[in-house]
Amino acid sequence: MKTRVRLERIIVIAGILVVLFLTLVTSSYYQNVLNQVEKDGGEDGNEYRYHYVMIVEDCDMPFWKDVYESTREAAREHNALVELMGKSLSSTIEIESLMDMAIASRVDGIILEYTGGHKIDERINEAGKAGIPVVTVLKDAPDTSRISFVGVNDYQLGRQYGEQILKLVPPDKDDVEVMLLLHDRDNSSQVQIAEQINNLLVTSPDTSGRVRLIQETMRSTGKVDADETIRNIFFRKEGVPDVLVCTEAVDTEAAYQAMIDYNKVGELQLLGYYKSDQILEAVRKGNIPVTLVIDTEQMGRYCVQALEEYLQEGHANSYYSVDLQFVTKENVD
Compute the distance between CA of residue 327 and CA of residue 317 in angstroms, rounded to an integer. Answer: 29
Compute the distance between CA of residue 115 and CA of residue 95 in angstroms, rounded to an integer. Answer: 9
Compute the distance between CA of residue 257 and CA of residue 239 in angstroms, rounded to an integer. Answer: 17
Domain 152-292 in CATH 1.20.120.1200:
no
Range name among 21-30, 170-179, 194-203, 290-299 with the lowest pLDDT average: 21-30
pLDDT in tens, 114-155: 988 899 999 999 999 999 999 999 989 999 999 999 999 999
The domain locations on the chain are 48-145+294-320, 152-292
Q: What's the mean per-residue pLDDT of the chain?
A: 87
For the cut 80, the answer to whether the pLDDT of residue 43 exceeds it is no
Split at pLDDT 50, 70, 90, the class of 9 is low
pLDDT at 27: 47
Residues 6+ positions from 28 with CB-CB distance below 8 Å:
none
Query: Once rounded to an integer, what is the mean pLDDT over residues 241-255?
Result: 94
pLDDT at 190: 84
More confident residue, 15 or 300: 300
DSSP calls for 153-193: -HHHHHHHHHHHHHHHS-TT-SSEEEEEEES-TT-HHHHHH
pLDDT at 34: 43
Compute the distance between CA of residue 56 and CA of residue 67 in angstroms, rounded to an integer. Answer: 10
pLDDT in tens, 187-233: 778 889 999 999 999 999 989 889 999 999 886 656 777 888 899 99
For the domain 48-145+294-320, what is the CATH superfamily, name and number? Response regulator (3.40.50.2300)
Q: Is 192 exposed, middle or buried, given 0-12, 13-18 or 19+ CB atoms closer than 10 A? A: middle
Helices (H), 40-117: 62-77, 95-104
- Tell me the backbone φ, ψ of residue 290, rounded to 5 degrees: -160, 145
More confident residue, 302 or 27: 302
Asked if domains 48-145+294-320 and 152-292 share a fold, the reply is yes
For the cut 60, the answer to whether the pLDDT of residue 68 exceeds it is yes
